[in-house]
Amino acid sequence: MRTTYRMRAGRFLGIPAAGLILLGVAAIVWAIALPAAVVAVFLVLGGLVVLGGLYVLARPPVVLKLRDDEIEVRGVRTPWTDVTEVGRVETTHGEAIVLRTRQKDHSVLVPLAWLAPGQLPELETALRDRLNTAHGYTIWDGTAPEGENRAE
């Protein structure tokens, strides 16, 4: 099973806004009667930036992908068996989820500000479940395992 988490779309509102500013400049350039080529350049550039910004808003960049055998964070793939723990840390850019691995000095950070507000609880549950599965852990239900020969 593969789960994909994308960045918050609101982080990219500035892109179509910049395109609208360029379209406004095109209107001003047209109003002061500069050559049509100058107006056309601003119109095309502004239109392309607005369309690109709308595309990014509709389909924000991928932050991380959870697969059955590995996790991919911003293009860096790490097998679940190499991840030793998942937690939260405070960074200079705010709180983040940290994935610590078997390799020294190789922690993977996912800033919480990048995620959509409702994704955090779902992500933490998915990370915990996949990490437990990779290491063979199960959640204890309070009962003793069946079929073990116990000394009493």
Q: pLDDT tens for residues 77-95?
A: 888 888 888 888 898 888 8
pLDDT value at residue 27: 95
Specify the CATH number of the domain 69-135: 2.40.50
Question: Burial of 5 by CB count in 10 Å (0-12 exposed, 13-18 middle, 19+ buried)?
Answer: buried
- pLDDT value for 138: 63
Which helix (H) or strand (E) segment is 37 a member of? helix 36-58
How is the chain split into domains, by residue range? 3-58, 69-135
Q: What is the pTM of this model?
A: 0.69
Q: Is the pLDDT of residue 46 over 70?
A: yes
Separation of alpha carbons 80 and 17, rounded Å: 40
Measured in degrees and rounded to the nearest 5, phi and psi for residue 104 equal -65, 140
Q: Model confidence over 21-39: pLDDT tens digits?
A: 999 999 999 999 999 999 9
